[in-house]
Amino acid sequence: MKWLLIFWGGPVVLLTGWYGLSYHDMSFGVFMLTREAHDLVFRVYGHVLGIPPESIPPLVARAMVVDSLIVFALVALRKRRQIVAWYRSRFAAAQSPESLSAASEANLSSAP
């Protein structure tokens, strides 16, 4: 599970870091972080894909969101017992025993 998060998080951090720095032209003397390189990369990708370069960043952002949701769903599936135990300990203690017994009686009386 650790490696899944590393192999997902590494590229996400690198891509968002590069995009943010190159978009705002914060190059620190590195050509790949200049706005010129930013525009060049998206022109090349746009030419290869046959779409306008301006439409690529929203597509990449949407793909990263979907991939992130899939990764978090896998982590939640793997850790579901721990999540359920935490949820029960966190929110079951907030309810008084009287309200729990009243709720169970209401469920029993409404059952067919």
Which pLDDT tens digit goes with each residue over 16-49?
999 999 999 898 989 999 999 999 999 999 999 9
Q: What is the mean pLDDT of residues 60-78?
A: 92
Burial grade of 102 (CB within 10 A; 0-12, 13-18, 19 or more): exposed
Contact by Cβ (8 Å): 32, 22? yes
Q: Which residues of 62-85 are buried (b: 16+ CB within 10 A; e: fewer)?
A: eeeeeeeeebeeeeeeeeeeeeee
Q: What's the confidence (pLDDT) of residue 11?
A: 93
Euclidean distance between the first and final Cα of the chain, in Å?
A: 45
Please provide the average confidence, as pLDDT, over all residues in the chain.
85
Contact by Cβ (8 Å): 12, 69? no
